[in-house]
Amino acid sequence: MNENLISVCQMFLIPATLLFAAAGVAHSQGIKLLICLTGVATTGLWLYRVWFWTSLSVIDRRTALGLAGLYTLAWIFTLLVHLKNMVAPGYNRR
């Protein structure tokens, strides 16, 4: 596997994972929403970086796109859940 690709994936994987923990311990919905937006942006940049990498082999590209895409979808789902919770009637807001 391409050593540069491993470094790039680690560069995005670590912050994206730490942001999941931050979203779990945040107390206000505003902070959770901000963390989710940051997570979507981080993983979106990761997906963009791998997508436009020109010198990757097919298997490396697919593996990296799969990992980046998985995290991107997870963050989008988390963001949508928090948006729904903010506007849901009767939701217990702190």
Q: What's the total number of domains in the chain?
A: 1
15 found inside a domain = no
Domain containing 74 equals 29-94
Q: What is the pTM of this model?
A: 0.83
pLDDT band per the 50, 70, 90 thresholds, residue 84: confident
Q: Which residue has the higher pLDDT, 92 or 32?
A: 32
- 21 within some domain: no
Q: Is residue 2 part of a domain?
A: no
Is 48 part of any domain? yes
Alpha-carbon gap, residue 15 to 59, rounded angstroms: 24
- With respect to residue 6, please indicate whether it lies within any of the assigned structural domains: no
Collapsed DSSP state (helix, strand, coil) of residue 89: coil
Please report the pLDDT score of residue 94 as a whole number.
55
DSSP tag of 52: T
In a domain, 94, yes or no: yes
> Within a domain: residue 37?
yes
pLDDT higher than threshold 60 for residue 93: no
Q: Provide the pLDDT for residue 61.
A: 92
pLDDT tops 80 at residue 90: no
User: What does the pLDDT look like over 10-68, one tens digit per residue?
Assistant: 999 899 889 989 988 988 888 989 999 999 999 999 999 999 998 999 999 999 999 99
Contact 19, 38 (CB under 8 A): yes
In a domain, 22, yes or no: no
